[in-house]
Structure 1
């Protein structure tokens, strides 16, 4: 039966024939059933099957004469208005119609995708009925099985949404979209099965059952046509990596078409850098294995011949720019192997250098290739590009940071001539604020005229406030507790406010600080700090055991200001006032010199003369300045540039302490390609007393953590106290029979070389940043202290008849300076008391009994002191370390071996610092 035939059913002529009508409905149901399956049953089975029509009478020949539409009625509609349904068909009362027009009406209604079933009926008198069944309304969208790709990443990408009309085309599109999202993650085996659950009121739940599958890895990378470099060498240049045990932390083993295009560029760049100017990638094919788990990538390359640089020259078309003045910055010479990267870097270098003179140059390399001699001549031409002016500077994305905080870092203003060097400098300054994302660029967009440009800074803010309560364990200070509040962008004004409290076994501190980088919107920074620090120094009493020596309490404040002198040079001035109290425990280090029971003097036998000289209360009033040169590309995590600081502080503007301290430090960073960052740093200092000796607490110290491979204050002058070993009749140098006190130095120097090694994306995501390093340095320049040893006059230890040194005793006093006694007989024998005769548990009770007690004595074994380590000879250590932003807090571990050291230096192989945040 063809589409032009019909039959009568119940007195009505069905113009869309039974065959076509049923075929359309069955086709629709099968299409939905193929695509959707319900939770309890396939989606196509959820909808009720269309009623089976009653047997029709024998078909009569359809009249060929066109009819006239009398009326168009709509039945079965629930949400849609009848006029809306009529608007989808081209049937208008009063106009003629044919069977073809009715068939077209049926097609038009199905094409709207609003209906699950449609019938067009004609009663033979021109009364046409559109019988419809509307598509259901989506109640909710459910994603199941998506573990690697969270719902908040998928939902914005799909078209279906609650309260929308269900359509099959949108379901198909959403399935394809979800699969595409998984393919972008390298999961090419992912499948999505949509299902529908029928609800009341013609509503449905759409469920996407997702089977994510494993990531499709790159099983093999084949390279064909490479003779000059091995496959492994070329794979090393690629971001994509083959699977293997050494790549378990790398996300580069996943297949990514975009990364594959990047790898081709990296390969081309590698060959061009090594002189192969004719290199090209002939083809690049990625084949998915039959199990859809892995990819095999094959590159076909042509290396070509290797070229050398020919004649290299520089020409200038700018009248005020002399080419000869800039030829010295050309790094390549005739006969060197051709390097395309070097040419690009030279273009940037010339552009920046000429830009410093206020010009906007257009530097173009003109190549002269000689295939016979295999040379590549290069002429760098400096041309004046048309003047372009900054029409507008737009800043987008700064919801918290005020607009002026970003705008004041621009080295260009609206109306200035465009300068690429100043744009680059502006980018570095904005990025160094630390308020925005790391990879930040200032985009250049066309302005309203050809000589106008718009600079657009699209920033993405990150958190600048820190509220941290941390606890941990350090190899330096044992148990550590730290509470700090810091806001680096207070109220979006770029101000820094901080407060902190820290506590550890050997140090405690409370600090408050504030910095305003732009006072009254002028490029002048001011700030102040208020602090209270308690520090307990210690020495080593054998092995890693420590004994607290002097205690230093410092209370004070500092005010500071900074003014830029040039773009890269800043001058900072400061004034500080602090009150120091250096003390020793009287019951450990003091003695009674006049027999009145009061510990009134520091005992050199216990403390050493150098510690006795350090105690006291002093007021330090100091003024200082610093000259800072800084052109780092990022002050937080630099990869290029240098920073140098020269500073001097003068103490003596009041107070009791007088000295002048000079210090210098400089660091330079190089990005040497492929993510490697090499840095070198030097620093040094000298302090000179003005009419007085430099106190122990004002000297320089060197060791862990500044110089890895050595213990805390482990480098430089010190006094080693060796105790007498009566068994061997000698002063022992064994660790358990010595103490070690660092004295610091008046002069020091230190150098550092470090290479930060990039890891795969997976390791970077874990926050791992390994590095190898070399540290070198020394601290020296103190006057030899008065020592206690057998060679010195007045040595307090006497010998017995056998030549052994006898110990010296000191009385043991209580906290009020009273003599402590030991009970020798009776029920309380072995106990201590303040009673010379008898016994009493406390000083408030009377002494009971008549036993004679012995005075308690503190026995000091004979010892000798040696002054060692005061040498400018370098100490050297090498090692490797890893920074890890672990889930439980920052972690740093260093393994370093001291290769050069002097007598008395304390070495340490492994140091670490770990904490947790909560």
Structure 2
């Protein structure tokens, strides 16, 4: 009720002689009239008088005011007759139903949630002022999507029992597009270069997907900060955004943005000094300073420096260390000197580590990943490492670590680890398609956190025209408290090379069972050891090469292998799918031991490293080497263990597995040596620089396999490709796109061979769809 109406009602109460007794009186009874939904007891609870008590003018006024204040009633009257107080009310209608028509841009549930936050919801009392606020909230939601021509009309329909239905009729209209962005006042950089820093843009060939051509106030604010950082990182310390104007065309379909800037002069760094209480050798802190005298000032380097010094002090227990960079500008010489004042604060200890949010995962599973110890000095590095390890588990949507001070102390903090769990079990049935295998059907059942213990259990079926795999595996990542893992595997793997037109025909069917151990050396290095027993059946054909039939003649079509596997790996990449820095190194050995009928070994080595060139560009270098051979009385590597090269995962532009020795028909045999190298430059897809699911690359690939044989016209070995030679490497170059789609990763490449030789099989366009690569 408005203030005017309340004043009027009180005036009526105080001036109507029928409302009050001339003198105070004792209440004999209280009656409530006019209520339909509200309980009489609710009304009684707001009255300042009860039966047997004295009724006065002041209490009457207080009663009316209290009942109006509930918001339940639009009219309240109080009368007194022969000692009986009669309260007559007229209830406000309640909202029985809220409907929205014409909604396409949003889901109705999302809009109703926003309306509820304004106070308008089903079951609540209707207030006309709230209805106006609701219309404004709906309009705001549409304005945020660039729909400035939206029209919203609300309608009330009375229902029985003093209820109403509220309907919002929405005519959304089309989204206004950014037609022009102007930057005024720039001299050092061209407008075109500055606009590259903006996420907001005019319509382009991909803006239908990114929606970046629709005006958003928050997005523009972020663009302005990005522009500010661009200038400050290039020495323009006095850069300022003077004003930003946003105008809309009369038809509400076009947005025009003008940003007025003052660049100021470019500054160079003249000196950088340390001051304050450092508590760490000054020489050690100076190594962390990336801002150098004589260089153009860059704010990001200064921020990096202050953070590095704070983190270094944090590693020694100074949780609240503060480093302030105080500039001293020489505006005549356009130089700036910085003094880094170091305030370490008090050294603190960790009192307790508290874990919360884990309703399913056991406390011990979380705590064993935390590297900070209770009772020890606070260590910022160990806390950050703990957060990374918890995120890598894959059990949680969010990991938040806070370090509040312990109340009543000056040198203690608690470490509060808060997690938000996510589903760790999955049942998947899917299909994919690759240019080499065709249709691939797959299905899996897995639980990565069995009963909250952190153990992993999975069963998988993968069916392709070349590779068919059925597997069951179990892993306990903490078989010992030191992080030694134990796992078991059962599998069947069928390989049908007859469906690859460019690879020599054969089939194998392998059954295997094994156990494996993983041993962490440190936080980055990991060693694994495994022992597996395999039985393999080989099928050759009349058109199979002599090398295959010779192997079957010498060793039989059925053989077994007691296989020993070992590997060492180091992985410091910051992301699995889209890394921008870090490296992945792996060395592995597979040995057929004397416990089986086949004796051989295979060695592989891989080094992959990512270098961030800028915010948008990342350089990747990858090198792989492989070598295998028989030993003892077995002078050859089993042919179905051969290495292959060519295809989407090695040398693009050449058909899968075709680079290397060939049989008399020109089909690939594979080899016992493999060399692959890749140089790849990753960058955002034009128009989608902030999309985290899509990126593009330009690449150069090289590689081939080598072996002790190649068939001549008579089918005998002719000795070609017997050893590695740079002349036999193949090269290709092209572009690729990786998209993490709702169906799984999609990998496309368009490559042109640069060093094609006679007999090579090329494939310019290659792709893989689904979770099979």
- TM-score by structure 1 length? 0.72
Return 251-260 or 269-278, whichever deviates more.
Answer: 251-260
Could you say which residue in structure 1 is the equivalent of 2:644?
701
- Contact preservation (8 Å) 1:114, 1:167: no
For residues 764-787 of structure 1, the C-alpha deviation after alignment (integer angstroms, 9 at most, x for no partner) is 48x44433333222332x223564
Q: Deviations over 1:97-136 (max 9, x none)?
A: 59xx99998777655433344566789x999865432222
1:115-154 map, 5 Å:
115-118=73-76, 131-154=88-111
Matches of 2:479 and 2:218 in 1, distance apart?
48
Cα deviation, residue 528, structure 1: 1.9
- Deviation of the 1:198 alpha carbon: 1.6
> In 2, Cα distance between the equivalents of 1:656 and 1:702?
28
Instruction: Pick from 293, 299, 303 the counterpart of residue 263 of structure 2.
Output: 303
Question: Are 2:666 and 1:666 aligned?
Answer: no
1:335 aligns with 2:278: no
Task: Work out which of the residue numbers 69, 72, 77 in structure 2 matches 1:114.
Answer: 72
> 1:447 aligned to 2:406?
yes
Structure 2 partner of 1:803: none
Q: What residue number does 1:156 align with?
A: 113
2 CA distance for matches of 1:67 and 1:233?
84
Matched, 1:909 2:764: yes
1:750 to 677, 691, 694: 677
Question: Deviation digits for residues 228-263 of structure 1, max 9, x if unmatched?
Answer: 122232222123223344522222333333223222
Q: Give the match's secondary structure for 2:384.
A: helix
Residue 741 of structure 1: aligned partner: 668
Report the equivalent of 1:681.
622
**Deviations, residues 891-914 of structure 1 (Å, cap 9, x unaligned):** 332211222344443221111223
Match for residue 715 of structure 1? Answer: 659
2 CA distance for matches of 1:548 and 1:556?
25
Note if 1:576 corresponds to 2:553: no
Aligned residues: 745
Alpha carbons 1:283, 1:299 under 8 Å: kept: yes
Aligned-pair CA distance for 1:275: 1.2
Q: CA–CA distance in 2 between the matches of 1:777 and 1:137?
A: 75
* Higher gyration radius (CA): 1
Please say if residues 446 and 453 of structure 1, whose CA atoms lie closer than 8 Å, have aligned partners that are also in contact: yes
CA distance in 2, matches of 1:148, 1:441: 33
Quickly say closer, same or farther: Cα 1:332–1:705, change in 2 above 3 A. Answer: same
**Is residue 194 of structure 2 the alignment partner of residue 238 of structure 1?**
no
Would the aligned equivalents of 1:716 and 1:869 in 2 still touch at CA under 8 Å?
no
The residue number in structure 2 matching 1:882 is: 737
C-alpha distance in 1 between matches for 2:183 and 2:616: 24
Aligned to 1:779: 705
Q: CA 1:762 to 1:378, structure 2 compared with 1: closer, same or farther past 3 Å?
A: closer
- Which residue of the other structure, out of 621, 624, 628, is the alignment partner of 2:569? 628
CA distance in 2, matches of 1:463, 1:553: 35
Preserved contact between residue 680 and residue 753 of structure 1 (Cα < 8 Å): yes
Q: What does the per-residue CA deviation read over 1:419-456, in whole Å, with 9 as the maximum and x for residues that have no partner?
A: 2222222222222222333x755344343234333434
Aligned to 2:696: 770
CA deviations 1:514-566 (Å, max 9, x no partner) are 111111544111112222212122497xxxx5576222222222321112122
- Alignment partners' CA distance in 2, 1:688 and 1:316: 64
Q: Which moved more, 1:204-213 or 1:87-96?
A: 87-96
Instruction: Please show how residues 87-102 of structure 1 align to structure 2 within 5 Å.
Output: none
1:896 aligns with 2:765: no
- Decide whether the 8 Å contact of 1:538 with 1:546 is kept in 2: no
SS of residue paired to 1:892: strand
Q: Is the 8 A contact 2:708 2:723 kept in 1?
A: no
Q: Determine if contact 1:574/1:623 at 8 Å carries over to the other structure.
A: yes
**Aligned runs of 1:257-656 on 2, under 5 Å?**
257-312=217-272, 318=278, 321-325=280-284, 327=286, 330-350=289-309, 363-378=323-338, 384-437=344-397, 441-448=400-407, 449-538=409-498, 545=501, 549-585=505-541, 589=542, 606-615=543-552, 616=556, 617-635=558-576, 637-656=578-597
Change (3 A) 1:151 1:743: closer
Contact 1:480 1:503 in 2 (8 A): yes
Q: CA deviation at 1:637?
A: 4.7
For residues 160 and 332 of structure 1, the distance between their equivalents in structure 2, rounded to whole angstroms, comes to: 55
* Distance in 1 between residues matched to 2:78 and 2:16, nearest whole Å: 19
Distance of 2:758 and 2:312 partners within structure 1: 51
User: Which TM-score applies when normalising by structure 2?
Assistant: 0.84
**What residue is the counterpart of 2:3 in the other structure?**
none
Relative to 1, partners in 2 of residues 1:354 and 1:171: Cα closer, same or farther, differing over 3 Å?
closer
Shift in Å at residue 269 of structure 1? 0.8
Aligned partner of residue 474 in structure 2, secondary structure: strand
Q: Distance in 1 between matches of 2:184 and 2:42?
A: 64
For 2:415 and 2:687, how far apart are their aligned partners in 1?
34
Unaligned stretches of 5+ residues in structure 2: 1-5
Structure 2 CA distance for partners of 1:492 and 1:218, relative to 1, 3 Å: farther
In 2, Cα distance between equivalents of 1:671 and 1:435: 29
Higher relative contact order (CA 8 A, sep 6+): 1
Question: For each residue in 1:693-752, what CA deviation from the matched residue of structure 2 results, as whole angstroms up to 9, or x when unmatched?
Answer: 22322232111132222211122222354xxxxxxxxxxxxxxxxx32333232424334
Q: Distance in 1 between matches of 2:655 and 2:109?
A: 50
User: Structure 2: how far apart are the matches of 1:532 and 1:740?
Assistant: 26
CA contact (8 A) 1:141 1:207 kept: yes
SS in 1 for 2:608: strand
Q: 1:406 to 1:680 in 2, by over 3 A?
A: farther
Secondary structure of the corresponding residue to residue 575 of structure 1 = strand
Task: Say if 2:525 and 2:569, in contact at 8 Å, map to a contact too.
Answer: yes
User: Structure 1 residues 201 and 715 mapped into 2: Cα distance closer, same or farther (>3 Å)?
Assistant: same
Gaps of at least 5 residues in structure 1 are: 1-15, 25-59, 590-605, 722-738, 793-863
Aligned partners of 1:316, 1:776: CA distance in 2, in Å? 55
Q: Is the 8 A contact 1:720 1:865 kept in 2?
A: no
Quick one: distance in 2 between partners of 1:745 and 1:363? 57
Q: Residue 74 of structure 1 contacts residue 130 of structure 1 at CA under 8 Å; is this kept in 2?
A: yes
Output the aligned Cα RMSD.
4.0
1:306 offset after TM fit, Å? 0.7
Cα distance in 2, alignment partners of residues 117 and 167 from structure 1 = 13
